[in-house]
């Protein structure tokens, strides 16, 4: 089991998101070059899963808006530090916030959707070509 150790966990999340983005770009390039195809049924199942993930990302982004607000923990120095830390983790623009990770994931999902749609088109093109060859 992986246990995040504060900032290290955030850094690992950013690195993982970057790796996912690179993989989706490769998948998109592969689909664009005709390197893989997927049937309409298989592609639609993948698109459904991607859309469910997009919905979850949208819900989480709305939750982050709530987390960006200052939590009322009191006026002690510790309470002020914790409030500021929570806001930073949620939505700071340092490249490691939860909001930025969600934005990156949203982009990865868009790339995945484009790749699957292209792969579905590839499948249809191959099927049409095979049908023409068969009908001769």
Is the per-residue pLDDT at 105 higher than 80? Answer: yes
Tell me the torsion sign for CA atoms 64, 70, 72, 73. Answer: positive
Selected residue with higher pLDDT from 67 and 83: 83
Task: Please give the mean pLDDT across all residues of the chain.
Answer: 83
Sequence-distant (≥ 6) Cβ neighbours of residue 24 within 8 angstroms: 108, 111, 112, 115
Q: Which helix (H) or strand (E) holds 13?
A: helix 7-32
**Residue 131: per-residue pLDDT:** 86
CA pair distance 136, 130, nearest whole angstrom: 10
Quick: pLDDT tens for 25-55: 898 999 999 998 999 999 999 999 999 999 9
Entry field: residues in the chain: 136
Selected residue with higher pLDDT from 11 and 29: 29
Is the per-residue pLDDT at 117 higher than 90? Answer: yes
CA pair distance 111, 21, nearest whole angstrom: 8
**Residue 14: per-residue pLDDT:** 67
Is the per-residue pLDDT at 10 higher than 90? Answer: no
């Amino acid at each position: 089991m992986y246990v995040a150790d504060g900032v290290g966990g955030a850094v690992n999340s950013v690195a993982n998101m970057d790796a996912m983005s690179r993989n989706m770009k490769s998948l998109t390039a592969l689909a664009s070059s005709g390197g893989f195809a997927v049937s309409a049924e298989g592609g639609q199942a993948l698109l459904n899963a991607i859309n469910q993930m997009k919905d979850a990302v949208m819900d989480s982004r709305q939750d982050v808006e709530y987390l960006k607000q200052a939590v009322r923990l009191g006026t002690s120095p510790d309470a002020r530090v914790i409030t500021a830390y929570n806001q930073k983790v949620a939505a700071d623009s340092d490249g490691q916030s939860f909001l930025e990770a969600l934005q990156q994931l949203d982009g990865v999902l868009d790339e995945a959707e484009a790749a699957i749609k292209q792969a579905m088109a590839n499948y249809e093109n191959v099927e049409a070509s095979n049908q023409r060859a068969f009908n001769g």
